[in-house]
């Protein structure tokens, strides 16, 4: 069966109830897969989500010689004596933008190589220049061709890197490059987001010195060689928790999201509180990685009103760019006009207008700004998912909130980031099933 042809069939308009356990982080997992290439020893990753994005990167790792073994949600990665990029699975690599993060570790294996241009979400111009400008400080030269990234260096040296933008993946690439360069390197204006903190914890477990975790200045004391057997757990995913928060809000349901990574959801919850969402937060300790603080979030059915200011994302500790789209579908159930400013991506706000297919009232002001006027009585519809994870996901929430029958076609983009979503939604009372194309 072609994974791209899968559909979700939804009978919507139903009130949901119960509890749902937050899944583990997509972005954390793919970053850790890239980071494993630094290690000559065996890397065991615990609680790895079985999602398409992870599958693509494992296919790439296996194609260059890494042995990958699953045991439930534990993934054991054993590198070969020598990696071989001649056999790299190009088809898998171009389906995920996360392949960019392989540059940082691969410069420690090869003085010259290239990676194919990547795909993943289609969201307009997503510049790789912050990666290029950061890594060149270590002596790395990266060219941007139409179909590939040639990478080369004549020796690596520690450096002070000032990031052009506080990019999660550029910060991680810079961390991975610095980790095996002897000496002290500094990253300024670094992202402090959840996946960056996870990588910092993993690098520390490998013996790399990292200071400033959770801040915008990271100091890395690199080591020339890393050869250690290490075990590390992937933390909980704030965007997974936010999916169910938004689902509860849009369907006016009582739902408890368990073990949510609360420090990476607090700005979102402040906005939702001002929109009238009623909820209770109960602290639940720390995840296995020793970094991610957890809480149970109990949502109650609420009468929502539009947020009085524009809703926009900012680098951590601001509202997460991956969580911003959820406010579009929540806005369909809020009284008044909700203004969303999706300033990062040229195309993503355009995808939000697909909510009109359910009967929402949206107005696209420009490629970055959209208003949603509510509350709307949503009705079922047949929709092709856009080739972008979060916009596709909010259409699924729209289908759950919409009265009647909906079909979401080409749901690969959703399966890139969410594991067992149909079964999890059914466990809280949703009428949804998966069907082959």
Identical fold at 3-23+236-435 and 26-233? yes
The owner of tokens 């477990």 is 205
Q: Cβ(300)–Cβ(249) under 8 Å?
A: no
Which CATH number is 3-23+236-435's, of 3.40.50.2000, 3.40.720.10, 3.30.499.10, 3.65.10.10? 3.65.10.10
pLDDT band, residue 128 (cuts 50/70/90): confident
Question: Angle between the 26-35 and 168-179 helix axes, to the nearest 10 degrees?
Answer: 20
Say which range, 81-85, 91-95, 267-271, 431-435, has the weakest mean pLDDT: 91-95
Average pLDDT over residues 124-150: 83
Q: Is the peptide bond before 111 cis (omega within 30 degrees of 0)?
A: no
CATH superfamily name and code, 26-233: Enolpyruvate transferase domain (3.65.10.10)
Q: Cβ(313)–Cβ(344) under 8 Å?
A: yes
377-399 pLDDT per residue, tens? 999 999 999 988 999 999 999 99
Q: Return the percentage of the chain with pLDDT > 90, whole number.
A: 89
Q: Return the percentage of the chain with pLDDT > 70, whole number.
A: 97
Burial class (CB in 10 A: 0-12, 13-18, 19+), 131: buried
Say which range, 43-57, 125-139, 162-176, 315-329, has the weakest mean pLDDT: 125-139
Domain boundaries, the chain: 3-23+236-435, 26-233
pTM as predicted: 0.94
């Amino acid at each position: 069966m072609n994974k791209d042809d899968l559909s979700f069939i939804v009978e919507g308009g139903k009130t949901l109830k119960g509890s749902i356990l937050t899944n583990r982080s997509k972005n954390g997992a793919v970053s850790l897969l890239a980071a494993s290439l630094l290690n000559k020893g065996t890397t065991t990753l615990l609680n790895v989500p079985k999602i398409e994005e992870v599958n693509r990167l494992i296919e790439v790792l296996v194609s260059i010689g890494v042995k990958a073994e699953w045991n439930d949600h534990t993934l054991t990665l054993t590198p070969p004596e020598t990696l071989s990029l001649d056999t790299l699975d190009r088809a898998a690599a171009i389906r995920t933008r996360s392949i960019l993060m392989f540059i940082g570790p691969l410069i420690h294996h090869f003085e010259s190589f290239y990676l194919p241009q990547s795909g993943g979400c289609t969201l307009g111009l997503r510049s790789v220049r912050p990666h290029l400008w950061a890594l060149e400080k270590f002596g790395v030269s990266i060219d941007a061709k139409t179909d590939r990234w040639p990478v080369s260096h004549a020796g690596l040296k520690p450096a002070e890197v000032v990031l052009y933008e506080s990019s999660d993946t550029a910060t991680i690439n810079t961390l991975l490059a610095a980790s095996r360069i002897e000496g002290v390197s500094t990253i300024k204006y670094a992202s402090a987001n959840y996946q960056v903190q996870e990588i910092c914890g993993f690098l520390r477990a490998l013996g790399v010195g990292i200071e400033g975790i959770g801040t915008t200045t990271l100091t890395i004391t690199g080591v020339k060689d890393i050869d250690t057997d290490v075990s590390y757990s992937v933390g909980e995913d704030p965007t997974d928790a936010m999916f169910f928060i938004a689902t509860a809000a849009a369907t006016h349901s009582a739902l408890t999201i368990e073990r949510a990574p609360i420090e990476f959801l607090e700005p979102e919850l402040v906005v939702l509180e001002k929109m009238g969402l009623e909820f209770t937060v109960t602290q639940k300790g720390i995840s296995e990685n020793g970094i991610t603080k957890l809480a149970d979030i109990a949502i109650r059915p609420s009468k929502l009103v539009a947020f009085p200011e524009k809703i926009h994302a900012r680098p951590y500790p601001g509202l997460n760019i991956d969580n911003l789209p959820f406010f579009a579908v929540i806005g369909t159930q809020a009284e008044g006009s909700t203004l969303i400013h999706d300033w990062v991506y040229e195309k993503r706000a355009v995808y939000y207008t697909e909510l009109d297919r359910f009967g929402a009232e949206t107005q696209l002001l420009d490629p970055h700004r959209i208003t949603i006027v509510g509350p709307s009585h949503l009705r079922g519809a047949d929709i092709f998912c856009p080739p972008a994870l979060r916009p596709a996901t909010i259409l699924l929430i729209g289908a759950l909130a919409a009265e009647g029958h909906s079909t979401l076609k080409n749901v690969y983009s959703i399966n890139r980031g969410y594991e067992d979503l149909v079964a999890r939604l059914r466990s809280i009372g949703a009428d949804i099933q998966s069907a082959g194309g």
